[in-house]
Structure 1
Amino acid sequence: MRSFFSSFFAALLALIIFSIIAFFVSLGIIGVITARLTSHKTKVGTNAVLYLDLSTPIQEQGRTDDVSSFFGREDATSPGLFQVVRLLRYAKTDSSVRGIFIRAEGNANGFATSQELRHALEDFKTSGKFVYAFGDVIDQKAYYVANAADKIYCNPAGAMEWTGLSTQVMYLKHALDKLGIEPQIFYDGKFKSATEPLRTDKMSDANRLQTGEWLGDLNRGLLTAASESRKIDTATLAGFEQTGAIQTAHDADKYHLVDGTRYRGEVVEELRHKLGLNAGADINFVSLSKYADAIDLDNDATDRIAVIYAQGDIVYGAGQEGEIGCDEYVKWIRKARQDDHVKAIVLRVNSPGGSSLASDIILRELLQAKKEGKPVVVSMGDLAASGGYYISCGADSIFAEPGTLTGSIGVFSIIPNLQGFFKDKLGVTFDGVKTAPFADQGTFSRPLTDAEKRFAQAGVDSTYTEFKTNVSKGRHLSLDQVETIAQGHVWTGERALSIGLVDRLGHLQDAIDCAARLARIKEYGLTEYPEAKSALERYFKNYGHGVAAKAVKDELGPEGWTTLQQMRRIKAMVGQVEVRLPYDVDIR
């Protein structure tokens, strides 16, 4: 027995010592990585051509993978949208950069993001430097950005999409009926169609009307941009959509939507000639990721403007990465509010909404900043709807892109009744004891009583009234005026301007300029939130979750992963009062 305990404690001690050593070795490795990253500076070289791949989604805020950067991977840094815009502005006067090459296979970004990218490319062209674009198969959203180029080419064996825009919604009512699931839905706003897929089998007339409005607005934006770039009137371009005239690359060339059909190698050879290089010489293509590593955009001025990026679903609590957790965002807003060097706050919103409670908590903190004399300006990205508009409505000034989807001032709640599913499909029943009539209110195992339904609708009505009241105060509109533009109606930024939901059409830089004017400062630097986490923090917080998420994503594939995320979102909505967009907007 004594020998056993001796061996046991010796092994335990060795394990503890090994764990301690491993921990400090890990710290040392991370420290070496951090030190190398601090001292390492990427070189752009000469005759550089910036490489913009539209199929890579651009987030609002940039991210850096320290480990990938340590091993020299060019995709280690993912610059955010505003960083990309500033890089392109910097490149205008950077003597090492000769031009830009756009890979226009597809566009993974939303319409507002694409509008800001297109504007940045047009601004870059004023330098006299070239912009070329090429795609094997060019879809409409990619074409919208790429046709800002001096030359745009398509693979002769490829195709170009020019069919107009469409969006489709999956309706689940009949499936729920077959499963014996009753959604039990409560909502305010005839346009608030978030719950339609659960309570009907097709679009309501109101939803069809509003969807036609904003989809038509986006399509007109595509036509107008192409008309300006290609010198073709919008009626002719619309006719191509209606007749399906553009199917192949040769069709696009025939009707002058592209500058010719070329293979990629031929386009590269044309670029070599443009750069004055010998045939077959390597072109110094520089990704935006690499360029971001090489260029320092910081301004160390004492006066600061805080730019707070709010991207993702709005959730109660801390939230996960990619979500707007009210606890975290209140912390960032408060930090900016209490920082004497920060003279104004710009909230960049790209969100379909979410929890009404979390939205209200964030709005209150922004209003507190205003109360203490700090200007608050909102810049809207692809989406700033429902809860995304809720957190925006109290700002001193609101900027949106023409293609922003915003508004959707409406409320809903879902409390499913699974009694039929459990009993008829699974043979499972529930029973229990309670001390008061409403002690088990909201349980999934039985239908709501009439009284409980009244309570649920009253909660939705109360939140809707609070939402409209906040909009009324923030936008200086009467409640009657708000009601006419609320009702859950989704608007493009262009229409939102005409009805008073936003103040100006413009980009994030326009919003920052406005904030500087309101704060009466001329020289300023930017302080961005959420603050970048150190390599050590990201390692310990994200390693396990990241590995698990990647494994599931690899197993399910992109479509399965999207479905899983949607199911997770629906689960989070159940039993909560929600202010969010009708559904995930998928535009083709």
Structure 2
Amino acid sequence: MKSFFKIFFASMLAIIITGVITVLIFIGIFASLVSSVNDKPVAVKENSILKITLDNEIVDRATDNPLQNFDFMSMKSNQKLGLYDILKDIKKAKTDSNIKGIYLELSEISAGIATVEEIRTALLAFKESGKFIISYSDFYSQKAYYLASAADKVYVNPQGLVEFKGLGAELMFFKGTLEKLGVEPQIIRHGKFKSAIEPFILDKMSPANREQTITYMKSIWDNIVAGISETRKITSTELNNLADSMKIDNAAAALNYKLVDGLKYKDEIIAELQNLSGVSEKDGLRFIGLANYTKSPEKKEEGKKGLAKEKIAIIYASGEIDMGEGEDQKIGSESLSKVIRRARKDSTIKAVVFRINSPGGSALASEVIWREIDLTKKVKPVIVSMGDVAASGGYYIACPADVILADHNTITGSIGVFGVLWNGQKLMNEKLGITVDRVTTNTHSDIGSVFRPMEDAERAVIQKSVEEIYDVFITHVAEGRRIEKAQVDSIGQGRVWSGVNAKEIKLIDEFGGIERAIEIAIEKANLENYRIVELPRQKDPFQQILEQLKGDSQESAIKQYLGFSYKYYKNLNELLNLKGVQARLPYYININ
């Protein structure tokens, strides 16, 4: 018995000690992550090189939460990169005497093509300083090569590859699955191009959807080819021939057809960078990454002292639009409206740059946000900067602005609305053997029930609502863009456009990213001494961590398991849980 208790208590003590050690380790990691948010300013050494890798996902605005996207299995942070931070860093490096040049080490880039275009534009502006940009990779994805083509020299590993094949899109359809399950999607829509519901009712693209997809994809590809053509001095015809013929099948072919300037190994690149930056082999290269360079202080302009009182507010609207409070990558009508309202009433904020990256969502939520932007425009300049996508509800909230900017490769338009109700009667009765009986006080008390099909009278009522919302939508666009309502209807109907198309039909005013939007805001507000504030204000990192630890662990587990495919699961889940009339893009658009 004594032996038993000795073993028992020894085991208990071991468990307790292990638990305490685990907690202490976690607290150490936790404290380290929190303290990393408030690191001291980083000093940039002489003859440094700004190294840009873009390994992690790029979003418009990075969070301060150090646990966001932290992988506890590998104990590594996959912190997202903020586009505005990247653009500021490139601009700062242009005049930083300690930065000799930029080194791009690119492979896959987890960002939309419009985001890549903004970074590419910033790199081209950096080259005006006379400083070098060198790019190297073992493998360039097509998106990475588009960005790398802005460099002075583009190198690839002798056994590497440059992907160059044109754009392609694959759409997934669920009609057959729903039929087998016995679930009927009941669709009410306005607009022949409003194809958000096509995955549920068709087994392939409709002619209208195929037409719009080909149109905007060709526009985006033409812009990519034009950009590469300009910097690489290869004609657009030659580039398209290379894509069609699949001739770029190895590194030697990429060199032969002038897509790259040389085939080199990493040690040869290091030697070239040492020569360009003026450091000896003994001293070694002085790389500084984006994460650290963001923390380096920016030199104050001459004549400007202290903290400027007058401000330009950048208000971010990223993700699906819905009612209520939002979250990191989801727009909530209530929370965003409060932010816009406060910015409007703040006399120190002289102009608003409204950065939109959204495929749309709830039509009602879009209307709530539209109202606040419309009121704000009447008291101070509002400049919209569109990101990768600002379509349907994303365009709805943009249309009142004084000026609307988009990149050539932005996806926008999709001016149309729809509603969807699910009928699962066949699934319940025939597949599962479940029947549902009902009691109602009025004729249509159970309208919208998933256990029966809609009646004609109910469909007519919802169709009328959809038509009314569409009419309000195109009226807002006509008034905001100062064009005829009939013209808006002709380019609306739910049709998706690229940024280039959108400028031709007056949905946007000019091409440009967030930096250009800020320039216009400064001009319109007639500012000289000002500072930039980013809204909504981020929560304290400690509070964010606590909220994340209390958050939905199931969602995190799914995201971890599915990895890159998580966005398809998320998009399907959103479509299956739609509520009310929607103003949103037809499907998840992934262009490669």
Per the normalisation by structure 1, the TM-score is 0.90
Distance (Å, rounded) in 1 between the aligned partners of 2:102 and 2:41:
22
One-letter identity of the residue aligned with 1:335: R
Indicate which of 84, 87, 90 corresponds to 1:88. Answer: 90
Q: CA deviation at 1:36?
A: 8.1
Question: 2:564 matched to 1:562?
Answer: no
Q: CA deviation at 1:145?
A: 0.6
How much is the aligned-residue C-alpha RMSD, in angstroms? 2.4
Query: Residue in 2 aligned with 1:10?
Result: none
One-letter identity of the residue aligned with 1:327: E
Indicate which of 572, 576, 579 corresponds to 2:580. Answer: 576
Question: 2:60 matched to 1:60?
Answer: yes
Question: 2:508 matched to 1:506?
Answer: no
Q: CA deviation at 1:113?
A: 0.9
Distance (Å, rounded) in 1 between the aligned partners of 2:431 and 2:287:
60
Indicate which of 426, 430, 434 corresponds to 1:424. Answer: 430
SS in 2 for 1:343: strand
Question: 2:487 matched to 1:481?
Answer: yes
Q: Which moved more, 1:504-513 or 1:191-200?
A: 504-513
Post-superposition CA distance 1:140-189 (Å, at most 9, x none): 11111101111111122221111111111011111111111110111111
Distance (Å, rounded) in 1 between the aligned partners of 2:67 and 2:409:
37
Query: Residue in 2 aligned with 1:50?
Result: 50
One-letter identity of the residue aligned with 1:43: A
Unaligned segments of structure 1, at least 5 residues: 1-25
Distance (Å, rounded) in 1 between the aligned partners of 2:65 and 2:447:
46
Q: Which moved more, 1:30-39 or 1:92-101?
A: 30-39
Distance (Å, rounded) in 1 between the aligned partners of 2:576 and 2:486:
34
One-letter identity of the residue aligned with 2:559: K
The answer on whether the counterparts of 1:76 and 1:289 sit within 8 Å (CA) in structure 2 is no
Q: Which moved more, 1:88-97 or 1:56-65?
A: 56-65
Unaligned segments of structure 2, at least 5 residues: 1-25, 69-74, 301-305
Trace 1:356-505 onto structure 2 (pairs within 5 A). Answer: 356-371=363-378, 373-505=379-511
Trace 1:529-544 onto structure 2 (pairs within 5 A). Answer: 529-544=535-550
Q: CA deviation at 1:74?
A: 11
Distance (Å, rounded) in 2 between the aligned partners of 1:138 and 1:461:
47
Post-superposition CA distance 1:342-366 (Å, at most 9, x none): 1111101111111111110001011
The answer on whether the counterparts of 1:65 and 1:76 sit within 8 Å (CA) in structure 2 is no
SS in 2 for 1:64: coil
Post-superposition CA distance 1:25-75 (Å, at most 9, x none): x9999999878865722233232211212342221113234579xxxx997
The answer on whether the counterparts of 1:74 and 1:289 sit within 8 Å (CA) in structure 2 is no
One-letter identity of the residue aligned with 2:290: L
Post-superposition CA distance 1:211-230 (Å, at most 9, x none): 11110011111111111111
Q: CA deviation at 1:202?
A: 1.0
The answer on whether the counterparts of 1:100 and 1:131 sit within 8 Å (CA) in structure 2 is yes
Post-superposition CA distance 1:380-404 (Å, at most 9, x none): 1110100000000011111111111
Distance (Å, rounded) in 1 between the aligned partners of 2:526 and 2:133:
37
Distance (Å, rounded) in 2 between the aligned partners of 1:416 and 1:399:
38
Distance (Å, rounded) in 2 between the aligned partners of 1:74 and 1:29:
11
Q: CA deviation at 1:79?
A: 4.8
Q: Measured at CA, do residues 112 and 556 of structure 1 come closer, stay the same or move farther in structure 2, by a change above 3 Å?
A: closer
Trace 1:80-479 onto structure 2 (pairs within 5 A). Answer: 80-279=82-281, 282-296=284-298, 300-371=307-378, 373-479=379-485
Question: 2:533 matched to 1:527?
Answer: yes
Post-superposition CA distance 1:463-517 (Å, at most 9, x none): 1111111111111112111111101111111111111111111121221222222
SS in 2 for 1:471: helix
Q: Measured at CA, do residues 481 and 196 of structure 1 come closer, stay the same or move farther in structure 2, by a change above 3 Å?
A: same
Distance (Å, rounded) in 2 between the aligned partners of 1:584 and 1:198:
14
SS in 1 for 2:564: helix
Q: Measured at CA, do residues 49 and 182 of structure 1 come closer, stay the same or move farther in structure 2, by a change above 3 Å?
A: same
Q: Measured at CA, do residues 254 and 534 of structure 1 come closer, stay the same or move farther in structure 2, by a change above 3 Å?
A: same
The answer on whether the counterparts of 1:75 and 1:289 sit within 8 Å (CA) in structure 2 is no
One-letter identity of the residue aligned with 1:86: K
Q: Which runs of 4+ in 1 moved over 6 A?
A: 26-36, 73-77
One-letter identity of the residue aligned with 1:48: S
Q: Measured at CA, do residues 33 and 116 of structure 1 come closer, stay the same or move farther in structure 2, by a change above 3 Å?
A: closer
Q: Measured at CA, do residues 143 and 538 of structure 1 come closer, stay the same or move farther in structure 2, by a change above 3 Å?
A: same
SS in 2 for 1:293: coil
Task: Tell me how many residue pairs correspond in the alignment.
Answer: 556
The answer on whether the counterparts of 2:49 and 2:99 sit within 8 Å (CA) in structure 1 is yes
Post-superposition CA distance 1:443-482 (Å, at most 9, x none): 1011111111111211211111111111111111121111
One-letter identity of the residue aligned with 1:112: A
The answer on whether the counterparts of 1:98 and 1:130 sit within 8 Å (CA) in structure 2 is yes
Q: Which moved more, 1:28-37 or 1:160-169?
A: 28-37
Post-superposition CA distance 1:267-309 (Å, at most 9, x none): 2222123223334753222111111122358983111111101
One-letter identity of the residue aligned with 1:40: K
Distance (Å, rounded) in 2 between the aligned partners of 1:131 and 1:376:
35
Q: Measured at CA, do residues 136 and 36 of structure 1 come closer, stay the same or move farther in structure 2, by a change above 3 Å?
A: closer
Q: Measured at CA, do residues 36 and 81 of structure 1 come closer, stay the same or move farther in structure 2, by a change above 3 Å?
A: closer
Q: Which moved more, 1:156-165 or 1:389-398?
A: 156-165
Distance (Å, rounded) in 2 between the aligned partners of 1:151 and 1:245:
21
Post-superposition CA distance 1:419-459 (Å, at most 9, x none): 11122211111112111111000010111111111112112
Query: Residue in 2 aligned with 1:14?
Result: none
Distance (Å, rounded) in 1 between the aligned partners of 2:76 and 2:28:
24
Question: 2:3 matched to 1:41?
Answer: no
Distance (Å, rounded) in 2 between the aligned partners of 1:452 and 1:405:
34
One-letter identity of the residue aligned with 1:388: G
The answer on whether the counterparts of 2:56 and 2:80 sit within 8 Å (CA) in structure 1 is no
Distance (Å, rounded) in 2 between the aligned partners of 1:541 and 1:43:
33
Distance (Å, rounded) in 2 between the aligned partners of 1:418 and 1:524:
58
Distance (Å, rounded) in 1 between the aligned partners of 2:176 and 2:557:
33
Q: CA deviation at 1:238?
A: 0.8
Question: 2:545 matched to 1:545?
Answer: no
Distance (Å, rounded) in 2 between the aligned partners of 1:527 and 1:74:
30
Q: CA deviation at 1:257?
A: 0.4
Distance (Å, rounded) in 2 between the aligned partners of 1:27 and 1:243:
57
Per the normalisation by structure 2, the TM-score is 0.89
One-letter identity of the residue aligned with 1:368: L
The answer on whether the counterparts of 1:162 and 1:247 sit within 8 Å (CA) in structure 2 is no
Distance (Å, rounded) in 2 between the aligned partners of 1:548 and 1:191:
36
The answer on whether the counterparts of 1:53 and 1:103 sit within 8 Å (CA) in structure 2 is yes
One-letter identity of the residue aligned with 1:53: T
Q: Measured at CA, do residues 195 and 427 of structure 1 come closer, stay the same or move farther in structure 2, by a change above 3 Å?
A: same
One-letter identity of the residue aligned with 1:245: K
Post-superposition CA distance 1:4-31 (Å, at most 9, x none): xxxxxxxxxxxxxxxxxxxxxx999999
Distance (Å, rounded) in 1 between the aligned partners of 2:285 and 2:361:
47
The answer on whether the counterparts of 1:77 and 1:290 sit within 8 Å (CA) in structure 2 is no
